Amino acid sequence: MRIETTILSNLINNEDYCRKSLPFITEDLFHDETEKTLFKTISEHIEKYNTLPSLEIIGITVNDLPLNENLHKNVIEYLNDLNTKEKDETWLLDKTEEFCQEKAVHNAIMKSIQILNGQEKNLSKGAIPEILSKALSISFDHHIGHDWIEDFSQRFDFYHKVESRIPFDLEYLNLITGGGLPKKTLSIILAGTNTGKSLAMCHMAASNLMDGKNVLYVTCEMAEERIAQRIDANLLDVPISDLETLTKDSYERKVEKVRNKTNGKLIIKEYPTATANVGHIRYLLNELRLKRNFVPDIIYVDYLNIMCSQRLKYGSNVNTYLYIKSIAEELRGLSVEFNLPIVSATQTTRSGYSNSDPGLEDTSESFGLPATVDLMFALVTSEELAELNQLMVKQLKNRLNDVTLNKRFVIGVDRSRMRLYDVEQSAQDQISSGHNDRPVMNNTDFGQRLEDEKINRDSFKNFR
């Protein structure tokens, strides 16, 4: 007896097996037209009526199908073989999983050949790795939930498992994240225009590279060369304005010095503004793996709001809330799919730009964005902080740690070298506000001036 016959027979005679295996079996895994027709009839009945069909029901349903005479005859005759129930369900599930894997790989190879021969017009050669990868990754998931009482041992082991993270080179960012960014997370930097979103991501990318990580930097705003220029200033320790005056020999020596200090790679890819979605990034990841043997440990996207959604088309029926939320969900899904952290950025609202103590409500375009991300922090500047070459960081959302710990802190910034750095503890003590309800930035001279201006404006409201 063929395994296809055993599978079809148990789909209508073994409910437990059917519930466990049916979600993983698809019509295209059956290459015989008779078996394909029977599987489609069985699965459609189960989906519609939530019960297993009898042989009589299948026979009646098949009689109503627009089949040619020969196929109809073969299907009716095949029904005579579907009357057994396998007692060893564990064996059957293993054989069914093996069947699905083998047939999926076969289908993927045939699809790849069609692409190579030019018979598949909608897919390019770059799609082949993803097609094969999906086929090879097919696996039955028999886990049906965590039993709080019975599974305490696994839970204890999970608590004490050291999770792989991508560390920062900034002390307080490591403190608030518990040692860095875990895999399968989306982190967002919130800041006003020209505050330092791209600077921060360029610095983090440079730091990851020097830590031996593979980094992919996707830019939808600035040119690849401009991002590379910022990273040059950071890694080569040269003011960005002086890069053009370096001789080629001097520049080459500096690059070689960096090369000798790391085993990581940094790839920068530019997409035109408002044209790229996660589908483009997914395609890029497959191309990099195929052509350069490059698999990133972390991805930076500069920045989320000027990407496109792969699922939604912006228009009259889709507002900015849904659209930006969709992009965020797709990016986070990509991080889960490729098992890595993704870092991006978003703008503040117009009122948030001058807000000395921004909150989640100052996120531009969509509040659905902070609802989706795992970590979100704001970069805040002022005249006083600029004079000190500092930025204030405020935690807005944190699934990685307690958001109330080190809620606000400052970091140093060297804009000429596109670099962030730790500051002395005394600076942190000054910015810490304890339980003071007054926003911390309002305690500065700049904040006081804003407060005075607000009082003056309010005093003229009732003036006639």
- Domain with residue 53: its CATH number is 1.10.860
Instruction: Specify whether the CB–CB gap between 398 and 378 falls below 8 A.
Output: no
Do 310 and 424 share a structural domain? yes
Do 181 and 104 share a structural domain? no
Query: How many structural domains does the chain have?
Result: 2
349 domain residue, yes or no? yes
CA distance 380 to 369: 19
Q: How crowded is the C-beta side of 206, counted as CA atoms within 13 Å?
A: 25
Do 178 and 130 share a structural domain? no
464 domain residue, yes or no? no
pLDDT of residue 442: 54
Instruction: Specify whether the CB–CB gap between 263 and 215 falls below 8 A.
Output: no
402 domain residue, yes or no? yes
User: Considering only CA atoms, which of 337, 328, 391 is closest in space to residue 363?
Assistant: 328
Q: Name the token pair of 384.
A: 């006083």
Average of per-residue pLDDT across 133-142: 76
Instruction: Specify whether the CB–CB gap between 5 and 81 falls below 8 A.
Output: yes
The answer, yes or no, to whether residue 150 has pLDDT greater than 60, is yes
pLDDT band at 274 (very low <50, low <70, confident <90, very high): confident
Do 108 and 201 share a structural domain? no
Do 29 and 128 share a structural domain? yes
pLDDT of residue 437: 43
Instruction: Specify whether the CB–CB gap between 425 and 450 falls below 8 A.
Output: no
283 domain residue, yes or no? yes
Q: Which helix (H) or strand (E) holds 386?
A: helix 383-387
The residue with greater pLDDT, 236 or 383, is: 236
The residue with greater pLDDT, 97 or 434, is: 97
What b/e string do you get for 268-287 counting C-beta neighbours within 10 Å, with b at 16 or more?
bbbbeeeebbbebbbebbbb
pTM over 0.85: no
Do 206 and 109 share a structural domain? no
Summarised one tens digit per residue, pLDDT across range 6-56 is 999 999 999 989 988 888 899 999 999 999 999 999 999 999 998 999 999
Of the ranges 190-204, 298-312, 352-366, 396-410, which one carries the lowest mean pLDDT score?
A: 352-366
pLDDT of residue 464: 44
CATH number at residue 182: 3.40.50.300
Do 302 and 190 share a structural domain? yes
342-347 and 408-414 as β-strands: parallel, antiparallel, unpaired?
unpaired
The answer, yes or no, to whether residue 165 has pLDDT greater than 60, is yes
The last residue of a domain, from among 120, 136, 152: 136
Do 174 and 59 share a structural domain? no
463 domain residue, yes or no? no
Q: Name the token pair of 297.
A: 């440990």
User: Considering only CA atoms, which of 192, 218, 193, 194 is closest in space to residue 205?
Assistant: 218
Do 315 and 271 share a structural domain? yes
The last residue of a domain, from among 136, 156, 182: 136
Instruction: Specify whether the CB–CB gap between 269 and 217 falls below 8 A.
Output: yes
305 domain residue, yes or no? yes
pLDDT of residue 382: 87
pLDDT of residue 159: 79
User: Considering only CA atoms, which of 182, 194, 212 is closest in space to residue 343?
Assistant: 182
CA distance 120 to 126: 13
Q: What are phi and psi of 223, to 5 degrees?
A: -70, 155
Do 261 and 119 share a structural domain? no
144 domain residue, yes or no? no
Q: Tokens 């590379």 sit at which residue? A: 228
Do 205 and 283 share a structural domain? yes
Q: Return the number of other C-beta atoms located less than 10 Å from residue 376's C-beta.
A: 23
145 domain residue, yes or no? no
Do 181 and 116 share a structural domain? no
- Kindly report the average pLDDT of the chain as a whole number: 87
CA distance 243 to 273: 27
CA distance 83 to 71: 20
- Domain residues for the domain of 250 are 165-455
